[in-house]
A = this chain, B = another copy of it.
């Protein structure tokens, strides 16, 4: 197997243009971390402490086992999550936010709060553009 870990919010690729601007700015790093469907959702789902994959799937809903593993591996790769495997049968695994990962909860919460406050407006705008 190839174990590709690049791509979506795996390795951050800085676009190297001639002029130094937002492209290679630090902010891009954070944006790239969220630039996929599940990264933020999983961090959010782990906010209360260690959690097993099955439990995560139950909490989140709509994520396939494959994508769940991929995403958790990405987060681990970026130092946001740790994986702990207990040698038992049936197997037991727990994922947990690292201290670094936990620091992301603040900004993520900000978005949660934003959605709670402004979600209606976004949906209204969408419907407006669908039925003009």
Cβ–Cβ contact B123 & A12, under 8 A: yes
Cβ–Cβ contact A28 & B15, under 8 A: no
Copies of the polypeptide in the assembly: 2
Cβ–Cβ contact A35 & B37, under 8 A: yes
A72-111 vs B: 1/0 string, CB under 8 Å? Answer: 0000111110000000000000000000100110110011
Q: Which residue of B lies closest to A77 (CB)?
A: B129
Cβ–Cβ contact B79 & A112, under 8 A: no
A106 to B129, CA, bound (A): 25
A27 contact set on B, CB distance < 8 A: 41, 44, 111-112, 115-116
Cβ–Cβ contact B122 & A61, under 8 A: no
> Main SS of the interface on chain A?
helix
Does chain B have a CB within 8 A of A26?
Answer: yes
A115 to B124, CA, bound (A): 32
Does chain B have a CB within 8 A of A68?
Answer: no
A114 contact set on B, CB distance < 8 A: 30, 103-104, 106-107
A100 contact set on B, CB distance < 8 A: 118, 121-122, 125
Q: A78-B125, A78-B126, A107-B114 are in contact. Are A41 and B58 (CB under 8 A)?
A: no
Cβ–Cβ contact A21 & B111, under 8 A: no
